[in-house]
Amino acid sequence: MAYKSFEEYNMKITDDVKSRYEDIIKDLGEDTTRDGLVKTPERAAKAMQFLTQGYDQDPVEILKEAMFKESYNEMVIVKDIELYSLCEHHILPFFGKAHIAYIPNGQIVGLSKLPRIVDVFARRLQVQERLTEQILDCINDTLKPQGVAVVIEASHMCMMMRGVQKQNSITTTSGFRGQFEKIETRNEFLKLIGK
């Protein structure tokens, strides 16, 4: 499936995950029958389905739905795209922003599709490095532009609230293909996104 707003839940999966959350909460020493926790296992099961809905979406189809022939051949940038994902190592959130640029090669893509691609890949269990590369490769392989650049800046709760507990650390990852491998093009992009 391409992109759709996620509002329906698979009840079989919901019931199964709900049961597991119930067991986890009990194992942690909590009473799942107390008022504040009665509905928590079901809400957590639905939240997890929402946060991992990217597995059921096809980012290539999302791009293909809105590709248009156009002679424009200068840099196109969509910056400050909010992203929220789950670290696959601890299943804790990481969040931040992505900056994407591409140089068309006879085709452009609807601007809203770039943030949608970010969401599709972010709504999976992830590491930031792979997320950066998946976004980059999807745009590069599908749109076949002259070049693509992706920079992601994110804060990771696994570093902020546990482990080293560094609340002000930000992780930056980047990837470049085609024309963006040239230092002058890369520098123009980085200057335009304020880096």
**Are the beta carbons of 105 and 132 closer than 8 angstroms?**
no
| CA gap 53, 84 in Å, rounded | 12
Residue type, 10: N
Residue 87 counted as an annotated binding residue: yes
Beta strands in the chain (DSSP E): 67-69, 76-87, 93-103, 107-109, 125-126, 147-156, 171-178
SS3 state at 41: helix
**Angle at 158 (CA atoms; ends 156, 161), nearest 5 degrees:** 100
Annotate 74-125 with DSSP letters as a single string. S-EEEEEEEEEEEETTT--EEEEEEEEEEE-SSEEE-TTHHHHHHHHHHSSE
Residue 138 counted as an annotated binding residue: no
Catalytic residues: 87-90, 128, 156, 158
Residue 99 counted as an annotated binding residue: no
List the binding residues: 87, 90, 158
Per the annotation, binding residues for Zn(2+) are: 87, 90, 158
